[in-house]
Chains A and B, each alone.
Chain A
Amino acid sequence: MSRAARRTSIWNAALLALVFVASPPALAAQTLSVNAAGDVLHVKARDFAFIAGPLLNRLKEGRSVRLDFELTMLSKPEGPTVKQVVQAFTLSFDLWEERFAVSRTGSPPRSISHLRASDAENWCLENLTMSISSLGIGRDTPFWLRLVYRVQDLEPVPAETPGERYTLRALIDRLSRRREEGDLAKSVSGGPFRLP
């Protein structure tokens, strides 16, 4: 390729890059929704799968994993904070039943087992609630929500699994691998919402 041709291709490549960079946040903004049951505000998050990647690998090795969830209500997209709740969950994977178990820490503790991955994820969100009466906002007041989870208490794991270096999957994993810590924390925001 001539140097002149390389220069002209910059704009095509830059346009592609712009699409690549701009798309994920734009899509992510649409994943949160809220509903109310009595005085309790629930949040639902579409495409907020967290039982995947390194976390799933740890669970399938029989390790338990603690997840800290943080649900923040904001009066504007970037704050200030109206209310924040933090809830920790412990996940494990029943090696013989091949189903997930989740325990909610704190008081009162709750636990459940025999769940598929998506059901376990939903159970965590169902148990992450806000009391509507404690919010102090009217039904016409718009608010925004930010949902964050972080994986805690991780034990060290070997970098590679023996015998997996030459598989196509291993190659794809290497190509698509991001920094592991980045996979173990995630945030999604949405709004404006109003109290149902």
Chain B
Amino acid sequence: MARRLPKRRDMRTLALLVLLLGLPCVQANAQEADAPEGAIIDSVEMSGFSPYSLSPGLQKEFDSLVGTPLNRERLNQLVLRIEGEQPEMVAAVRSVARPDGKAHVIFLVARISEDTDLSENINARYLVESVDLEGPSSDVSQQLRDDLQKLVGKRLDTEEADRLKDRLEKELPGRDVARRISKGSEAGRIRVVFEIIEEPWIRFAPTRSKLIYHAQQGWSGALDFPMSSSRSRHRFTAGVVFNDIDELIEESSGFRLGFESRMLGTEKLGARLDFARVNDTWEDATLSALALNPTVPELYRNRLTFEPTVTFAFSPSVRLTGGVSLSDMESLTHAPDSQKANAWVAGISADHTWGTDHGSAKQRAEGSYSLRAAVDGLDTDLFYKRHLGQASYRFEQGRSEAIGSISLGYISGQPPLFERFSLGNSTTLRGFDKYDIAPLGGERMFHSSIEYRYSHVAVFFDTGSVWDRDTDAKIRYSTGFGVHGDNFFLTLGFPLNADDATPIFMMGVRF
């Protein structure tokens, strides 16, 4: 580090010289040659600052330069000391060769606040070594590329750089541009990067990692390991599931693998392959309820699922998905007999975000509909059609957030248990236990939720019902409060129309 300092200082001095050469008093000397190392210093000058404002020690050092051989390392150390004593200033040094072979030393000092660029970004003191575009930049015009390169060789002009960034955004509608600076290949030089950030038309599915505690249902966990870089078109995900009782009626443990491609030749086409194998256990309430309802298909000890799908994006906001879901369930009571639940899957989803600028209100709306149809031609043992529609809306302003959501589900035919709807977990009818509501799940479902958060302190009101085709729907209400973030929650839910009004505590992280 100590050896690197002089070179670093030299380069910064050069950069600052470029900055300070705009001063008229220095411009006259700018054409003169640098004095050689070892030349005797015959005069010392400080420009832009009074040497009498320096500490006595530094003044003495400054005065003692006259008559000594030129030593650039010593001069650079003095510059460092000037900046150390005067942190509101930037300094540089230059030595000019006299006709008689002696050296004239000029310390150039400038107040940061008097330079708009330096005030805006202290790195404006450095010379721009290169300007690069990162990300999808093929649509950028040659004229703009040429203008970008005009930044090279000068100190950073932040206003001009911002204008160029605006021009990039105009030439690349629908994409964001970020400007960043990094160190150049030599000390005192910087590299300017304009990073083009494209909202993908098809996004990777959110990971489903979670660790959740529900006072009635216990712990549920899942851990996904996605493997890709941020700009990758493909992603592989390996995950483990342990005692997940939060999502479905069954309690499952096992593993899952997934491969996603969000760009198959075109950004409008993507594909996904999911494979999962889980072992299932069942709550006593489910076993008891099944004994009373012979129309529900039998329980299984493990489930193997393979689900290839293709997604087509009409726009970055609207996507259509289609494929098949092939499941093989080994009977709990008649192993190794198994049942197949093979279905066509189709779905459409849309989302839109408004007002993403910082400080303004932000709104996001999402909607989706999915159909899973186990019909003739897919070698299935169970025949059914499962419809699910979901919509949500979120409004954020400052510390306040309001979230509303609604879900509607309908199943005809004879669905396996993993397809039946369930309410009463950490996200739906919070305050109820799913095994008190419908231990076998149901074929019809309605749920809505409204939630208000202020600085993560949340209150909510959930409404919902899950029922079968030959039973009546009973609407349930719950409310509660907690600390809710995008990744974590700590909730106390109260059932409002239950026989047992015991509150339910839930907490967890999703990431």
Contacts and interface: CB of A to CB of B under 8 A. Distances in A.
Interface hub of A3, A14, A62, A114 (most chain B Cβ within 10 A): A62
Interface string A84-103: 00000010111110000101
Contacts of B183: 95-96
A6 B213 CA distance: 10
A92 B507 contact: no
What's the dominant secondary structure at chain B's contact region? mixed
B154 to A, nearest CB: 16
A114 B84 contact: yes
B126 A179 contact: no
A26 interface: no
Q: Which of A21, A63, A113, A174 has the most CB of B within 10 A?
A: A113
Nearest to A101: B122
A184 B487 contact: no
Contacts of B3: none
A158 B230 contact: yes
B188 interface: yes
Given A6-B217, A13-B507, A178 B487 contact: yes
Contacts of B176: 155-156
Given A62-B190, A103-B113, A95 B217 contact: no
29 contacts: A6-B218, A7-B215, A7-B216, A10-B503, A13-B213, A13-B215, A17-B490, A17-B492, A17-B507, A61-B180, A61-B182, A62-B180, A62-B181, A63-B178, A63-B180, A92-B122, A95-B182, A101-B112, A108-B113, A111-B111, A111-B119, A113-B122, A114-B83, A151-B358, A154-B358, A158-B178, A158-B231, A163-B229, A182-B456
Interface of A: 1, 3, 6-7, 9-10, 13-14, 17, 20-21, 61-64, 90, 92-96, 101, 103, 108-115, 150-163, 165-166, 174-175, 177-179, 181-182, 184-185
Contact of B218 (A1, A112, A182): A1
Contacts of B396: 181
A154 B177 CA distance: 11
Nearest to B84: A114
Nearest to A154: B358
Given A10-B505, A96-B187, A177-B487, A165 B122 contact: no
Nearest to A63: B180
B195 interface: yes
Contacts of B181: 61-63, 95
Nearest to B231: A162
B505 A160 contact: no
B178 A157 contact: yes
Contact of B485 (A96, A151, A178): A178
Contacts of A61: 180-182
B228 to A, nearest CB: 7
A166 B229 CA distance: 10
A6 B218 CA distance: 6
B120 A103 contact: yes
Contacts of B399: 185
A122 to B, nearest CB: 13
A150 B359 contact: yes
B118 to A, nearest CB: 7
Nearest to A158: B230
A178 B484 CA distance: 10
A175 B213 contact: no
Contacts of B425: none
B492 A14 contact: yes
Contact of B359 (A6, A96, A111, A152): A152
A96 B179 contact: no
B6 interface: no
Contacts of B398: 185
Contacts of B112: 101, 103, 111-113
Contacts of A13: 213, 215, 505, 507
A153 B178 CA distance: 11
A185 B84 CA distance: 31
Contact of A158 (B119, B195, B213, B217): B195
B472 to A, nearest CB: 27
Interface in B64-103: 83-84, 87-88, 90
Contacts of B490: 17, 20-21
